[in-house]
Structure 1
Amino acid sequence: MKRIFFLISAFSSLALAACPITLVVKNIKNYNHDEVYVVINGEKKKISKQGTVDFAEVSDGLVKVSVLYQNKSVYNDTIHINCQAHQKYEIEISNANRIDEVYIRGKKKLEKLKETPLSVKIVDMQAVKSQANNIGEILNMATGVKLRTEGGVGSAFQVNLGGLQGKAVRIFRDGVPIEFYGHSFNPNVLSPNMLDRVDVYKGVMPISLASDALGGGINFISKPIQKDNLEISNEIASFSTYKSHLNAVFIGKKDSLFYIGTQASYVFSKNNYKILGEVIDTETANLKKVEAKRFHDDTEASYMEVYTGVRNKSWANDFRVGLIYSHFYKEIQNDLEMRKPYGEAFAKENNVTGYLQYKKMFFDSRLKVDLMTAFARYNNSFVDISRRRYNWLGEYTFSNENSVGEINKGNDLKMNYNMFHTRLNAAFRINNNHSLEFGNMYFYQRRKGSDPYGAVNVYGDDVLKTPAVYNKNIAALGLVSHWLDRKVETVLGVKNYFFSSKGYTTDKYNFAWDSDRSKNASGYMAGISYKPKNFILKLSYEKAVRLPDETEIFGDGILIKENLDLEPEKSDNVNVVLDYTSSNYKLNTSLNLFYRNVKNTIFMIPDNPYGRYQNYYDNRILGLEYEINYQPIKNLQTGFNFTYQDIRLKNLSGSEKIWEDARQPNIPYLFGNHYLRVNFSDILKMKDKVELYYNINYVHRFLLYPVPKNLEPGLFSKATIASSDLLIPNDGRLGMVDVGVGITYFLADPKLAINFSINNLTNERLYDNYNAQKPTRSYHLKLTYTIF
């Protein structure tokens, strides 16, 4: 049994040599050593009076280490075992006897991933799980990441990464496209309590994800199953916002092969913050600015996942099945640029997903196989049949008895989606220095619906009743190698991309006919990292391909028309990374330079009164990211980062030639963050802790629409007459500053965290995607209770 358990804990390492080690547990003078135990790979041993413990056989690579005192965990982290270098390792326990105050003298958690040739940023969600921020707000503090929103809680979002955004950046949860989890599982809704960490890949994507991301991707990583856990959090906030989250997993006895768990969340918000809107002045008949509350922007999101599985069986290291239910309700308040308010339109989504995951090690652990399969059923509706028209004061100004629909020509849309996804990963260790990796992802979607106000075919039938089918398959094969006593790591890979679509297409007169097509493409990647003492140097390149997705091809059945002739986007992606970490781990600084050469950019083109995606232009992107994090003393951490990205339109023709070499509109090109965290222990009673923090997010002004290069304002110069009205913000500010502050009190017994925070402390007017106004100052109170 111990042997099987050992293999599972070592599955993430490709170099599986083993050796004896001695672990030195420091700072145990305040503990009775007879009650201190160390657990590695399921093997539990008591420490000596000197604080040492020996293990006969530990795998080379990352291993989890736990320290128990009086059967309570006082240390839980990961260390890197290098059998060729040394066999003695040190860890240190804090005097406060709290897990989050423990640090390790050696390689920290997930250092292995950071040292790969890929440009990756790891965001620890457990470190901030007690804060009243959603995942999107936390990601916004990460270097080079900008999560764009169109309003408050539950609003649509896009991720900007390496100068590219929207569908060029793919989002996953444990390697599965996030679409399978429903709109209730998105970073603009979820609390960090739901995740262990987030891996942000900038440029080259790992073979295991088998992705068609053009500019990188984000992988949400769920909490590992290690022990019984029951955690509940509740939050109340401004704008009638309420959030509740539950995490539970039950294993029972330490040698139990069976586990069961659940995750659930409920989020509601009226999003009734104040904005500046335009209404007609009854005296002059001109438009005037008024401050008004959003009045039709309710969001309700429910998510529940139940899973069960077995581990350490002869036929599987881990076998899991799960079922997910998701419900999402969203009122539609305004158009994209907040020029037109709506008062009755809304959308609903119900989603059921079932999944199965199988993991197994073969051939004395030389072959690792990971298979994930999911099926989802979506039932969506969009209702816009009101005859009333509203202004920003919530008043309906007139009723049009001859026309339904506030947004367009009316919709009473019902759409059903069947989706299937399967992902196969395999890693084969050729020897201690070379491994083959294979990844394959297949995606299928079938869509069928109805809308009495929608488009019709030549026979007068509703075109949504014609099934629209989309298939996608991506296969990736790579070789990972280590050289020069593992100081150098290289990766080489190739990818094949395929998609097919079958549905209908329409003309500008709303008539439709059947159409289908398929397309193949290929790409490749290479990367190298070099790890001299305290430094990591990386260089990576990828010939990336992004296939047009189902919405771009078939539209959304509402305002976006279909285009079955779209070509894949392609890009040459280069990243150069220099990272330095001091020997005592108190200082870390990193510089990332990137280049993107994008062809066949897919862009939404107005086709009045609708929009249609087309291959429109090319992009050239140059950028840099820099960050520094410093911990001068044990209870204080600070740091800042900034990102600059120069995104230019290329190869335009005809009347658009005037925009040649202009900045890409609606994407921030200069932004950054600064944070400070201070914590104090034993405030009111022993083992309690208080943390004070603030975050500052800055976004430099950017263009809403393109401006010829010779007319665009300088980085810090005053805007010209030609460009001032096209800037975000357009009120004379150089940029926007969002300040958040908070305090968290951690009680040791009961294990309760109480957080109070204020977002947008200065109540500044903040604008985002297409000039959407973000929430004003808000107050948040969150309680996180860990029962066991």
Structure 2
Amino acid sequence: MYRHLFTSLVLIISLYCFTPGSVIAQQPGTLSGTVRDHNGQPVPKVTILLKGAKRGTTADEKGHYQFTGLPGEKITLQINAVGYAPFSIVVTPGTLQQDLVLRPHTQHIKEVNVEAMSETRKAARQAYQVTAIDAVKLHNTTLDIAHALSYVPGVRVRESGGLGSNIDFSLNGFSGNQVKFFIDGIPMDNFGSSFGINNIPINLAERIEVYKGAVPVTLGADALGGAVNIVTNSQRTNYLDASYSFGSFNTHKSSVNFGLHTKSGFVLQVNAYQNYSDNNYWIESETPVDRFGTVEKVRARRFHDRYHNEMLILGVGVRKKKWADQLMLGVNLGKSESQLQNGATMEDVYGQRLAKGNILIPSLKYIKKDLGLKGLSLTVNANYNLGNEQTIDTVFKEYNWLGEVVKDHTANDPTRKGGERSRMNYRYKDNNGMFSGNLSYRINDHHSVVLNNTYTTFRRTGEDLLNESDVYLERPRTVRKNVIGLAYRFDYSDKWNITAFAKNYRQFSRSFLNVKGKDNPQREDYDWRENSFSATGYGMASTYFLKSDLQLRASYEHGIRVPGSSELFGNVNTLTGNIDLKPESSENINLGVIYSPTFNKVHRLIIDAGILYRYSKDFIRPSLAKGSAYTIQQMVNLRDVDNKGVEASVQYAYKNKLRVGANFSYQHLINQTKYEDGKAASGVSLVYKDRLPNIPYMFGNADASYTFHQLFGKKDFLTLNYTLQYVHAYFEGWPSLGEEETKITIPTQWNHGASLLYSFGGGKYNVNFECLNLTDALLYDHFKLQKASRAFNIKLRYFLFHQK
């Protein structure tokens, strides 16, 4: 059914005709517009001259330019920008708006290659410690957002299985909710399991920005360790991008992305995708083989790990109106179903446990620039998730990795219906709401301010269909959070700017708990538990250009993060709640340098290096839940943690043919909690000065590609690509505990990959062959969970684009 749905979408969307833009009326004698690149992204700081006149102007940070006092006659604009082909354009009398489109000197290569820093001037001049991925160069791959991020220095994307499995995103040692995710600046906290970075195809993104340490107030969140902002193709005008891939383990992925902008200002955006996989890859594990507890080491296929999800994102609205530069109404519709193969470790094997969910998210976006005052801009975003989730665990059997039932607890008692982990048919709603308002004012060329307020709500209600009288489940658990931030930016010159900011965090949570701690509680044993929190964070970020190709960056933040709803209440499947969690804080310092010279116009080098320091109080980290008969995680506080780290990346490109790159990250997370209870009388902790367990601390990536141009036609190319990911060995538990020879160690890992891309028709038709985990190595994550074995994929992509 879903395959027919996507085929129909492609046929319907292909009927639309791409039409040129229109002219917006302004005051006579004035000419204005926006400078964009060939992908529709604004290009800042571009110089525009009037031919024959000794005057010109420079586009602002958003690519906007304006001339006033023009004569009532034909004029010629001359445009020159580094990295783009120079050109001129004649503007006829009476034209009051003229948008400009820059074309690159050379054709962009669509290959698997991650840039350490965005090539646009806007991204390069940011003071924040930010790395950007040019997602357009990855559109021919089968990557999702999560795996594209795994090539960024300082990032580890850890997953509990194959396609659609739970992931843990780590940035410079911070993970989970310590790092926040956004899509076009909108928090993704409330988007549900059907719409996450582990199932969003890379084709949805134009670029991905990774902020390390200090985060701009415009993102409006309590991000302690950094943030990831996924910038979509929403700024493009008319385009169609359709793809389908098939690969090992019966994996199917398809996506359709479409945008239409008419002369009248009408905007239609459609993004649809689906993912399916049996995830029946090979694993090696010890497993019981009979009811007497005999254990053998086996090589077997995962047998209960099927995953599928479908997603449809619709947006309709208007743009370039007097009362709105953009007004969009949208809805996200999606569903997912995941068979749960194992718990937090490989020892906990499931054969019938299942989770599924759906989302329904109406949304609103409004943008108005020059709101009654030149330089004053307003952006408003709002959405609410009306979806629900369900976990089903009704059998009372124990399975091994061969798919066999080694214990059937219903044999002696047919009336007993238990569960593989905990008996339930739990259907619940994690209803989330978000409202964000961002007001920015550019006072002049040197001074600007930004005010952002983001308010979020969370409410979980549910029922166990097997135990409808459960007093705990029938009471809602709620969280309300508000983050308000104010930033001031001073642009001293093109070489130096500095931003200072402050943020206030407030949160209130309420839950219904068994306050008396009884194993079989009655209604009177429960009571409400409330927590409230308020704190202020602050920081600064600055950048200085010693030369046009040599940039220094520095940032500091006193960051605050309050526990999220999943940490407080659990996520039902892999995480149990901890209502006693304390908010965490951290002193974050980042220093960085970027050197990007070009030699003889054909050799380009980018060197990006940085050092970081973090000192965190009440650090929130995952741990196996104590006293549980099943392997499930729980978030806990660790009072004092510091982290010293370095990272560096080097990239070299020759013309548009050869690209070679590598990056390396090292992070030294140390437990500085000397006394577990804060009292010297209790003695020094056994794990004082230990490296934090179960966290990779040294890792890196490398890639190389070569492109053959005009191999069979004038507008075709063939790209060969190779990738490598390395993770050094680390302990699953505390290094100081246990005997050296018996400690569980996650071994050193080398993950090789290769691909071959053929593109023709000027980039309209694309075929990509991939091999992941080329050497079929044993790869691990989390508590030594095994990742997918060797896989082969092929992706077919059709791309049609018309820039207005």
TM-score, normalised via structure 2 length: 0.83
Report what 1:135 is aligned to: 145
1:243 corresponds, among 253, 271, 274, to: 253
1:684 corresponds, among 712, 715, 718, to: 712
1:41 Cα deviation after fit: 7.4
Q: Distance in 1 between matches of 2:50 and 2:514?
A: 68
1:74-89 mapped onto 2 (5 Å cutoff): none
Q: Distance in 2 between matches of 1:499 and 1:447?
A: 16
1:384 corresponds, among 379, 393, 397, to: 393
1:189 Cα deviation after fit: 2.0
Report what 1:271 is aligned to: 279
Report what 1:706 is aligned to: 734
Residues 254-297 of structure 1: CA distance to partner in whole angstroms, max 9, x if unpaired?
x4411112000110001000101222355995322100000000
Where do 5+ consecutive residues of structure 1 fail to align? 24-39, 44-52, 69-75, 80-90, 102-106, 712-720, 730-734
Residues 334-386 of structure 1: CA distance to partner in whole angstroms, max 9, x if unpaired?
11111121100000111100111000012453111111111111211000011
Report what 2:510 is aligned to: 502
Amino acid at match of 1:371: V
Report what 1:766 is aligned to: 779
CA contact (8 A) 1:342 1:406 kept: no
Where do 5+ consecutive residues of structure 2 fail to align? 1-22, 53-62, 67-74, 90-98, 112-116, 677-681
2:477 corresponds, among 452, 463, 468, to: 468
CA contact (8 A) 2:118 2:133 kept: no
SS of residue matched to 2:356: strand
CA contact (8 A) 2:289 2:406 kept: no
Q: Distance in 1 between matches of 2:390 and 2:366?
A: 35
Residues 626-669 of structure 1: CA distance to partner in whole angstroms, max 9, x if unpaired?
00000134311111000000011121425881001111111100
Taking every aligned residue pair, what percent have the same amino acid on both sides?
27
User: Relative to structure 1, is the Cα distance of residues 562 and 226 closer, same or farther in structure 2, using a 3 angstrom cutoff?
Assistant: closer
CA contact (8 A) 1:14 1:429 kept: no
Residues 304-323 of structure 1: CA distance to partner in whole angstroms, max 9, x if unpaired?
01111111101001111111
Query: Is 1:728 aligned with 2:746?
Result: yes
Report what 2:531 is aligned to: 517
Report what 1:628 is aligned to: 650
Report what 1:288 is aligned to: 296
Amino acid at match of 1:124: D
User: Relative to structure 1, is the Cα distance of residues 367 and 310 closer, same or farther in structure 2, using a 3 angstrom cutoff?
Assistant: same
1:175 Cα deviation after fit: 1.7
User: Relative to structure 1, is the Cα distance of residues 195 and 6 closer, same or farther in structure 2, using a 3 angstrom cutoff?
Assistant: farther
Report what 2:72 is aligned to: none
User: Relative to structure 1, is the Cα distance of residues 655 and 349 closer, same or farther in structure 2, using a 3 angstrom cutoff?
Assistant: farther
Report what 2:587 is aligned to: 572
User: Relative to structure 1, is the Cα distance of residues 221 and 336 closer, same or farther in structure 2, using a 3 angstrom cutoff?
Assistant: same
User: Relative to structure 1, is the Cα distance of residues 461 and 393 closer, same or farther in structure 2, using a 3 angstrom cutoff?
Assistant: closer
Q: Distance in 1 between matches of 2:254 and 2:199?
A: 11
1:551 corresponds, among 525, 547, 566, to: 566
SS of residue matched to 2:122: helix
Q: Distance in 1 between matches of 2:78 and 2:287?
A: 76
Q: Distance in 2 between matches of 1:15 and 1:385?
A: 58
Segment of structure 1 superposing worse, 499-508 or 241-250:
499-508
User: Relative to structure 1, is the Cα distance of residues 112 and 228 closer, same or farther in structure 2, using a 3 angstrom cutoff?
Assistant: closer
Report what 2:679 is aligned to: none
Report what 1:672 is aligned to: 700
SS of residue matched to 1:200: strand
Report what 1:31 is aligned to: none
1:93 Cα deviation after fit: 3.7
Q: Distance in 2 between matches of 1:669 and 1:785?
A: 40
User: Relative to structure 1, is the Cα distance of residues 67 and 14 closer, same or farther in structure 2, using a 3 angstrom cutoff?
Assistant: closer
Residues 755-779 of structure 1: CA distance to partner in whole angstroms, max 9, x if unpaired?
0010010111111111110111100
Q: Distance in 2 between matches of 1:618 and 1:522?
A: 20
Q: Distance in 2 between matches of 1:284 and 1:517?
A: 48
TM-score, normalised via structure 1 length: 0.85
Report what 1:608 is aligned to: 627
2:542 corresponds, among 528, 541, 544, to: 528
2:487 corresponds, among 473, 478, 481, to: 478
Query: Is 1:370 aligned with 2:400?
Result: no
User: Relative to structure 1, is the Cα distance of residues 57 and 604 closer, same or farther in structure 2, using a 3 angstrom cutoff?
Assistant: closer
Q: Distance in 2 between matches of 1:692 and 1:565?
A: 52
User: Relative to structure 1, is the Cα distance of residues 699 and 54 closer, same or farther in structure 2, using a 3 angstrom cutoff?
Assistant: farther
User: Relative to structure 1, is the Cα distance of residues 9 and 425 closer, same or farther in structure 2, using a 3 angstrom cutoff?
Assistant: farther
1:132 Cα deviation after fit: 2.2
1:166 Cα deviation after fit: 1.2
Q: Distance in 2 between matches of 1:143 and 1:765?
A: 23
CA contact (8 A) 2:79 2:87 kept: no
Amino acid at match of 2:192: G
Report what 2:179 is aligned to: 169
Report what 1:328 is aligned to: 336
User: Relative to structure 1, is the Cα distance of residues 42 and 433 closer, same or farther in structure 2, using a 3 angstrom cutoff?
Assistant: closer
SS of residue matched to 1:126: helix
Report what 1:639 is aligned to: 661
1:594 corresponds, among 567, 591, 612, to: 612
CA contact (8 A) 2:35 2:101 kept: no
1:151-300 mapped onto 2 (5 Å cutoff): 151-252=161-262, 255-280=263-288, 286-300=294-308
1:501 Cα deviation after fit: 1.0
User: Relative to structure 1, is the Cα distance of residues 289 and 209 closer, same or farther in structure 2, using a 3 angstrom cutoff?
Assistant: same
CA contact (8 A) 1:77 1:109 kept: no
1:133 Cα deviation after fit: 2.2
Between the two proteins, the alignment pairs up a number of residues equal to 715
Q: Distance in 1 between matches of 2:133 and 2:148?
A: 8
CA contact (8 A) 1:200 1:218 kept: yes
Q: Distance in 2 between matches of 1:65 and 1:759?
A: 41
2:447 corresponds, among 434, 437, 441, to: 434
User: Relative to structure 1, is the Cα distance of residues 66 and 389 closer, same or farther in structure 2, using a 3 angstrom cutoff?
Assistant: farther
Report what 1:115 is aligned to: 125
Q: Distance in 2 between matches of 1:67 and 1:275?
A: 61
User: Relative to structure 1, is the Cα distance of residues 682 and 55 closer, same or farther in structure 2, using a 3 angstrom cutoff?
Assistant: same
Amino acid at match of 2:453: N
